[in-house]
Amino acid sequence: MRPRTARLAGLPDNVTVYEVGPRDGLQNEPAVIPLETKLQLIARLVGAGLKVVEVTSLVRPDVVPQLADAEELLTRLPPMPAVRYPVLVPNHRGLERALANGVREIAVFTSATESFAQRNLNSSRARSLKVAGEVAHRARQHGLPVRGYVSMCFGDPWEGDVEPTAVVSVATELLAMGCGEVSIGDTTGVATPGAVRALITRLLDAGAEPSTLAVHFHDTYGQALANTVEALRCGLSTVDASAGGLGGCPFAKSSSGNLATEDLVFLLDGLGVNTGVDLAALARTSLWLAGRLGRPSPSRAVQALAMGLERER
């Protein structure tokens, strides 16, 4: 069943769905997913109309064993000129691997808080930001677009509420270092729409353009869709999401799944905002993946659409 469509004032006509499922979704799985399943997942996501699919991360295999097959995956990705395949790169070594494997777009990451930087990156916040900047600079020298992620932008399990000034400082520095886009992450899912507007307003007042900002919401407290609408009302038009609502952060135990791509697309379809994504094809993909993982999809849209999709078979 399709959503009833009605426009709201102040929303963009088009939204880019930045799919992170193959990387951020699968990295948190308790068991390693076979490479063939990952390749099929990526192909299905592209077939559903997604134009940006973050496919993997070039991290140390002993740190994130679920992504230990990154280089083999990259060599087997079919060339798709109209599709972007960004790869998360943690450090200089990761960039070397990316360049050697023909990666054409990368992402770097850091934290708005010192505690999470120490636990996630085993580094101070200042040091992680410096490394991200160096990697971004070198990638730009090779002609690669660079995205920056900022984690813990609203609340931190160890530090509590995060001051907007800390987020603004890190995000604007990433932009100055050459990141064409910075994704603002609600890693613990504690943001609400008022906090989203307040932070985005601070970022825009600091000189960031709406086109250079994206949002990455976790649905821990069921606020991801409401937060997304508020971000769009602030002028942003890129939203991160994970097929089937998979993922979370292995380094922040209070963090549950990402915003489900199907839930996001259902919302945007209902608002008359174009994404270019086929919701039914996407839901079929998540149902297929849920079967491979041996558990139901946490996406509410997938659950609601499942019966109708089964009848179509």
Taking only the tens place, the pLDDT of each residue in 165-189 is 999 999 999 999 999 999 999 999 9
Range 154-172 average pLDDT: 95
The whole-number average pLDDT for the span 251-261 is 68
| Per-residue pLDDT at 252 | 44
Residue 9 clears pLDDT 60, i.e. is over it: yes
| Residue 35: partners with Cβ closer than 8 Å, 6 or more residues away | 69, 72, 73, 76
State the Cα–Cα distance between residues 213 and 148, nearest whole angstrom: 10
3-state secondary structure 124-185: CHHHHHHHHHHHHHHHHHCCCCEEEEEECCCEECCCEECCHHHHHHHHHHHHHCCCCEEEEE
Across 129-145, average pLDDT = 96
Our answer to whether residue 249 is catalytic in this structure is yes
- In the chain, where the domains are located: 105-231
**Rounded CA separation 152/162 (Å):** 7
Q: What share of the chain is helix, strand, coil (3-state, %, to 5)?
A: 45, 15, 40
Nearest in space to 120 (alpha carbons), one of 151, 159, 88: 151
pLDDT in tens, 176-222: 999 999 999 999 999 999 999 999 999 999 999 999 999 999 999 99
Please give the Cα distance from 241 to 26 (Å, whole number): 13
Whole-model pTM?
A: 0.95
Coil, helix or strand for 217?
strand
Better pLDDT: 93 or 2: 93
The full length of the chain comes to 313
The identity of residue 311, as a single letter, is R
The single residue of 153, 179, 234, 249 carrying the catalytic annotation is: 249
**Maximum distance among all Cα pairs of the chain, rounded to whole angstroms:** 54
CATH of range 105-231; options 1.10.540.10, 3.30.1370.60, 3.20.20.70, 3.10.450.750: 3.20.20.70
